[in-house]
Amino acid sequence: MAEFGDGGVQDRIGPRPLNVTLVREPEAVDDYSESTAMARIHILGASGTGTTTLGAALADSLGCIHADADTFYWLPTDPPFTTPRPPEARLALLLSRIKKATSWVFSGSAISWAMPLERLYDLVVFLRLDPVLRMERLRRREIADYGARIEPGGDMELASRQFFEWAAAYDSASLEQVRSLATHELWLSKQRCPVQRLDAAAPVKDLVGAVLAKLPV
């Protein structure tokens, strides 16, 4: 089975990759405003839990920037989601997106390449979802997005099958799988900011309300 990395991780349900070629080194995270932050929120979870959807809705409610890991992780290709950007390039693009912002929402798993942002988080939101429901969500979205391309003979058939195998392993995989429950729980245990755990089966508006209620006044 193909090994998928950390970030968008071939999620296919979030924003499409940026068509950008980046060669400069990432700017220091110290260049980014800290003292006046209203809310800097990181949302992560398994593929299919709706981190991108919640991130966009929450950013809209707060009137702030939304950045999704998928956007920065993958180079634009056809078929899509085949070539990751180098870690330093993804981080540089992410930092340039949120530079000087007093509030932002960053969605998607990026624990292996966005470490410089960890000290800026005011809140980490961890989404969980029943594995059966989560995989059903992914299947519906995969079919809606790619149709015949993932069917037998399609140019994305193999990649789609490997993606589903990888996504289904999230709850049982070891630390060797970068995006897994085990790696997320280990990472969460090391965070200094508050961690909010939410059931992603709830309506998006209810999830947004729960996060807003958790933010410091």
Task: For residue 32, give the DSSP letter.
Answer: S
**Structure confidence at residue 26 (pLDDT):** 43
Positive or negative: CA dihedral 191, 97, 177, 179:
positive
For 141, residues 6+ apart whose C-beta sits below 8 A from its C-beta are 12, 13, 48
**C-alpha 94: how far from its chain's center?**
12
The pLDDT, as a whole number, for residue 74 is 93
User: pTM of the entire structure?
Assistant: 0.85
All structural domains of the chain:
29-199 (3.40.50.300)
pLDDT bucket at 66, cuts 50 / 70 / 90: very high
- Least confident window among 16-30, 45-59, 108-122, 154-168: 16-30
Calculate the average pLDDT of the chain. Answer: 87
Q: State mean pLDDT over 59-83.
A: 94
At 81 the pLDDT is 87
Is the peptide bond prior to 79 cis by the omega test (within 30 degrees of 0)?
yes
Tokens standing for residue 45: 């979870």
pLDDT at residue 47 tops 90: yes
Question: What local confidence, expressed as pLDDT, does residue 31 receive?
Answer: 52
Measured between alpha carbons, how far is 49 from 201 in angstroms, rounded to an integer?
A: 8
- Does 29 have pLDDT greater than 70? no
- Among 4-13, 55-64, 179-188, the range scoring the smallest mean pLDDT is 4-13
- 123-179 per-position pLDDT tens digit: 999 999 999 999 999 999 999 999 999 999 999 999 999 999 999 999 999 999 999
DSSP state string for 149-166: GGSTTSTTHHHHHHHHHH
Q: Where are the alpha helices (DSSP H) in the chain?
A: 51-62, 69-73, 87-98, 131-146, 157-168, 181-188, 204-214
Q: What is the predicted pLDDT for the residue at 19?
A: 44
pLDDT tens column, 164-211 = 999 999 999 999 999 999 999 999 999 999 999 999 999 999 999 999
Name the band, by pLDDT with cuts 50, 70 and 90, for residue 104: very high
pLDDT at 102 exceeding the cut of 70: yes
Distances (CA, A) of 152 to 141, 148, 156, 161: 17, 8, 9, 10
Closest CA to 48 of 65, 32, 70, 66: 70
Lowest mean pLDDT among 9-18, 98-107, 181-190: 9-18
DSSP secondary structure letter of residue 202? S
